[in-house]
A and B are shown apart, each in its own frame.
Chain A
Amino acid sequence: MKRLAVVLALSALAAAVLAATPTPDAAHQVFEPMGPQAGHIGQLWNLFVAICAVVFGVVLAVLLVALWRAPRAPHTAPGDVSPLADPERRATRRVGLGVGAITVLLLVLVVASVFTDRAIARLSLKDAVSLEVTAHQWWWTVKYLDGEHVSDRVETANEIHVPVGRPVIVQLRSDDVIHSLWLPNLAGKRDLIPGRTAMVTFRADQPGVYRGQCAEFCGYQHALMGLLVVAETPERYQAWLQAQRQPAQPPTDAQAVRGRTVFESTACAMCHTVNGTQAQGKKAPDLTHVASRSTLAAGTLPNTREALADWIRDPQKHKPGTNMPAVPLSREDLDAVVTYLGSLR
């Protein structure tokens, strides 16, 4: 009895601690749906938890009853082997009822999951924003396909901006191995398979910054392959899109001008693009508006001057195995490049 009290007290304490844990800024929570798709999945989750909890409770209760009703004998008494002589009894009515109830409960879960799928597919796609997300080891390309002309298309990396209240259609591709896109607050997981195009749709109903993550093991830096979804008001979204459509502003101060020259004449330009300059590499994140993003290296580092300089100096320190090479630059050249990239708003 005493032990039971201790266990109960500990469980209550753990529940209180869990309930009091604050949620981080960039939400990453299945339990806080911010759109219809995640809401449907949340409801399915609640149903599963409820039914499984009931079944678990019933099984434990039956076990306890069986233990309680079992005949007791002193330790010294010889074992009772008389049941061995009797043939095993046929399935009784009670067992039959139990099996029937379990089957019905399982069918309830199957039907509920079918209805969840249907509800997810029913999201109205009128006036939707079209995106294409390509996964690489270990970062994400994001292309905005809307606009009258091909030149209105926008490419960015590791950060998706969406307007609140409008549906979003995301085409998913992979450049190398199988990845999986998971935006816990907005939608379920969807695999990105090389050579195929998958699709996921969602709608964000609350403004905020939500974190996404690769959910399929894809190599060394799978854990550091994150992205942010910034849901904002339609006006702010349009302003952001217009800004992204502009080529990079030519730098004005001398250090940034030098930074651009270094950027264009060293290894940076072999893989990165800055629109409006000679840097047109297509193998690494587009840096045309890199200073407007809040993280570096797929959510690994905050986008600050120090972090950027450290990332360029030794990327392998932060993400061992990353395909970004360490570029040997003098201290002045590195400062200039960091200043130039900081000017790309």
Chain B
Amino acid sequence: MLILSLVVALAACEREERTFRTPLPNATPQQAGERQSANQPAQPRTDLVRNAASPRSPYEGNAYGVAQGKRLYRWYNCGGCHANGGGGMGPALMDEHWRYGGEPAQIFQSIVQGRPNGMPSFGGHIPEDQVWQIVAYVRSMGGQLRKDVAPSRSDTMYPGEAENARPKMPIKPEILPPEQPTGGPQQ
């Protein structure tokens, strides 16, 4: 019983741990990637960006890091194109099917390299640990993170249960469009 409670307590520590000293998750030398967008905040850069050093964000199990990611998502105006995850000018972020890949390292690359047709290249403009925090937050929108880590929806929005806290439900057959008859047009 004691061991069990200790395990629970320690897990809680990890969930709430706050590291103020900026870790450098990308400190190891890595291959450089091309920028895919000249669309950049303030003065555009042309230097290469560093690729993701690890396949996963170090903040995925850390509620404080994900909450910081939520703050940064607002600060850097990600919502200007992606809205609150539902998409607008930019694609929606609330699912796991992504045009350029929905794995943490792929999302990291999309943010630092930029993508064609509008996604700015933020490499060098945002410190890399902040990019990892944003990656963790963006994945929490689609329910990819543990429920106790994902931040809740802002109070200003729809008051019902947030998407990432709802049970996964199969699509009801009656809301699908009726199957079209195959073959030639009916006489």
- Contact A325 B22, beta carbon cutoff 8 Å: yes
Minimum CB–CB distance from A176 to chain B (whole Å) comes to 9
A265 touches B43 (CB 8 A): yes
Residues of B within 8 Å of A328, CB to CB, are 24, 127
A50 to B186, CA, bound (A): 101
A26 at the interface (CB under 8 A from B): no
Is there contact, CB below 8 Å, between A270 and B22? no
Q: Decide yes or no whether A280 CB sits under 8 A from chain B.
A: yes
Residues of A contacting B24 in the complex (Cβ-Cβ under 8 angstroms): 328
CB distance from A195 to the nearest CB of B (A): 10
Min CB distance, B30 to chain A, in Å? 15
A279 to B43 CA separation, bound complex (whole angstroms): 8
- State which of A265, A271, A279, A316 has its C-beta within 8 Å of the C-beta of B22: A316
Docked Cα-Cα span, A323 to B67, in Å, equals 12
Given the known inter-chain contacts A316-B22, A321-B20, please indicate yes or no for A267 contacting B75, CB distance below 8 A: no
Among residues 310 to 336 in chain A, which have CB atoms less than 8 Å away from a CB atom of chain B?
A: 314, 316, 320-321, 323, 325-328
A325 in contact with B129 (CB, 8 Å): yes
In the complex, whether B126 has a CB less than 8 A from a CB of chain A is: yes
Task: Give the chain B neighbours of A326 by CB distance below 8 A.
Answer: 21-22, 127
Residue among A267, A271, A321 with max Cβ neighbours from chain B (10 Å): A267
Say whether B42 contacts A264, CB under 8 Å.
Answer: yes
Chain A contributes a number of interface residues (CB within 8 A of B) equal to 21
Q: Which of A270, A278, A316 touches B76 (beta carbons < 8 Å)? A: A270
> Does B15 make an interface contact (CB < 8 A)?
no
- In the complex, the answer to whether B125 meets A267 with C-beta atoms within 8 Å is yes
Partner of B43, one of A267, A269, A283, A316: A269
B residues in contact with A264, CB < 8 Å:
42-43
Q: Which residues of B contact A321 (CB under 8 A)?
A: 18, 20
B183 smallest CB distance to A (angstroms): 58
B124 touches A265 (CB 8 A): yes
Distance between B76 CB and nearest chain A CB, rounded to angstroms: 6
- Residues in B with CB closer than 8 Å to A325 are 22, 127, 129-130
Please determine whether B21 and A270 come into contact, CB atoms closer than 8 angstroms: no
Contact of B41 with A by CB under 8 A: yes
Chain B hits for A180, CB < 8 A? none
Q: Does A266 touch B at the CB level, under 8 Å?
A: yes
Digitize B120-138: 1 where CB-to-A-CB distance is under 8 Å, 0 elsewhere.
Answer: 0000111101100000000
Q: Is B56 an interface residue (CB 8 A)?
A: no
Residue of A nearest to B128 (CB): A328
Knowing A316-B21, A325-B22, the reply to whether A283 touches B75 (Cβ < 8 A) is: yes
Complex contact A327–B125 (CB within 8 A):
no
- What's the Cα separation between A266 and B128 when bound, in Å? 12
The contact size tier of chain B is 10 to 19
- In B168-183, the 8 Å CB interface with A consists of none
Chain B contacts of A278 at CB under 8 A? Answer: 42-43
Please give me the residue from chain B that is nearest to A269 by CB atom: B42
Q: In the docked arrangement, what's the CA distance between A270 and B131, Å?
A: 13
A129 smallest CB distance to B (angstroms): 31
Known: A283-B75, A320-B20, A321-B20. A327 touches B43 (CB 8 A): no
Within 8 A of B (CB), among A275-329: 278-280, 283, 314, 316, 320-321, 323, 325-328
Question: What is the bound-complex CA distance between A283 and B130, given in angstroms?
Answer: 15
Determine which of A270, A314, A323, A327 lies in contact with B42 in the assembled complex, contact meaning CB atoms within 8 Å.
A270
B45 at the interface (CB under 8 A from A): yes
Residue among B18, B42, B76, B127 with most chain A CB within 10 A: B42
Tell whether A327 pairs with B127 under 8 Å between CB atoms, given A270-B76, A271-B75, A316-B21. Answer: yes
The interface bits of chain B over 40-80 (1 if a CB of A lies within 8 angstroms of the residue's CB, else 0) are 01111100000000000000000000000001000110000
Structural contact, A279 and B75, CB atoms closer than 8 A:
no
Chain B nearest CB, measured from A97 CB (Å)? 56
Find the residue from B18, B22, B76, B130 having the highest chain A CB count within 10 A.
Answer: B22
A267 to chain B: which residues have CB within 8 Å?
A: 125-127
Neighbouring A residues of B41 by C-beta, 8 Å = 269-270
CA of A280 to CA of B20 in the docked complex: distance in angstroms? 26
Of the candidates A265, A314, A323, the one whose C-beta lies within 8 Å of that of B125 is: A265
Look across to chain B and name the residue whose beta carbon is closest to the beta carbon of A282: B75
Shortest C-beta distance, A253 to chain B (Å), equals 19
Contacting residues of chain A (168-212) with chain B, CB-CB under 8 angstroms = none
Which 7 A-B residue pairings sit nearest by Cβ, starting from the closest? A269-B42, A264-B43, A265-B43, A326-B22, A316-B20, A278-B42, A320-B20
Given contacts A264-B43, A265-B42, 8 further A-B contacts (CB under 8 A): A271-B75, A279-B42, A280-B42, A283-B75, A316-B20, A321-B18, A325-B127, A328-B24
Give 13 pairs: A residue, B residue, CB < 8 Å, sorted on A. A265-B42, A265-B124, A267-B126, A269-B43, A270-B42, A270-B126, A314-B21, A316-B21, A320-B20, A321-B18, A325-B129, A326-B21, A328-B127
